Structures are given as C-alpha cells and as structure tokens.
C-alpha cells in the first residue's frame, strides 16, 4: 500500500525523459525553421542597402543568441531530468525493499525523500512548460517575419 502511495506521488519512470524528448524535437524543428528562414532571406538581404543589412544582421544574431540560450537551458534540463529519473528509480526500489522487509522507519524516511523529490519534479515540469512556451514564441516570430517578408 505504501509503495503504491509512493508511485502515485512520483511521476512514472521515464515520463520526464519523454517530456524532454518532445522538447528536444520541438527545438530541433525550430532550428530547422530558422535555418530555412535564413536560406529564404539570403537573396533578399543581398539586394538590401548596407544600413538595412546591418539591422537585419543584428536581428538575426539576436535570434541566434536566443537559440543558443535555449540549447544551454535544454542541456541543464537534460542533466536535471536524468538525475531525477535516477532518484525516482532508486527511491522506488528502496521503498519496495523496505516494504518487503517490514522496515517501516526507513520506509517513512523514503516517503519523506519522495515528497521532496515530488516538489523538485513540479519545478522541473514548470521549467519544461516555460521552455516549450518560449520555443513556441520563437517559432511564431520566425513564421510571422517570414510571412511579412514574402514578396
């Protein structure tokens, strides 16, 4: 019964990893879209005056820095998710071992650790959600600018 309580408190093993895989796929698609946008605008930029080229180059560099920042965030999230997945597996295994041995003091300690991990997981979920929103906003900006610059 207590092991089931633990499993209800913590996300299923692999769920955080699946969310991160989805986030990485979204970031990859946005990068591909950004590169495609650069390819499309290459000819347009060649015909621009020098001042407009500088402004466009600064804007593209700014968007590129945003993508680099997201990559850094994804790497940090990836490490945190991997650590949490390891801790979830470890706590679940410990709880099962303690439950079979009827070691209730250690089982209680494991449940308290699971509560702390649950709090950390909720922070990770919020960070993943914010990153997804940020990626969506970047994709919308690129798409809207592509539509605005079409002849």
Interval 109-136: pLDDT, tens:
988 898 888 888 889 889 989 988 988 8
Tell me the pLDDT of the chain averaged across its residues.
81
Q: What is the pLDDT of residues 18-51, one digit of tens each?
A: 888 888 888 888 778 777 777 777 777 777 788 8
Q: Which pLDDT does position 49 carry in this prediction?
A: 84
- What is the band of 6 on the pLDDT scale with cuts at 50, 70, 90? low
CB neighbours of residue 25 within 10 Å: 10
What is d(CA 136, CA 122) in angstroms, rounded to the nearest whole number?
Answer: 21
Q: What is the pLDDT of residues 66-121, one digit of tens each?
A: 777 888 888 899 899 889 888 888 988 898 898 889 888 998 898 889 888 888 88
Chain Cα centroid distance, residue 72:
10
Q: What is the pLDDT of residues 58-68, one digit of tens each?
A: 777 777 777 77
* pTM for the model: 0.69
Q: Which pLDDT does position 105 carry in this prediction?
A: 92
34 Cβ neighbours under 8 A, 6+ residues apart: 63, 64, 67, 138, 142
């Amino acid at each position: 019964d207590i092991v089931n309580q633990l499993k209800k408190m913590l996300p299923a093993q692999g769920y955080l990893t699946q969310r991160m895989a989805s986030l990485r796929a979204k970031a990859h698609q946005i990068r591909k879209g950004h590169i495609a946008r650069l390819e499309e605008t290459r000819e347009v930029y060649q015909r621009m005056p020098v001042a407009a080229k500088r402004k466009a180059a600064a804007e593209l560099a700014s968007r590129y820095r945003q993508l680099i920042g997201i990559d850094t965030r994804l790497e940090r999230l990836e490490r945190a998710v991997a650590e949490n997945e390891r801790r979830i597996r470890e706590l679940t295994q410990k709880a099962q071992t303690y439950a079979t041995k009827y070691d209730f003091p250690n089982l209680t300690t494991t449940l308290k650790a699971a509560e702390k991990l649950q709090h950390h997981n909720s922070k990770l979920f919020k960070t993943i959600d914010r990153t997804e929103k940020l990626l969506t906003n970047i994709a919308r900006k690129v798409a809207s600018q592509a539509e605005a610059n079409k002849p």
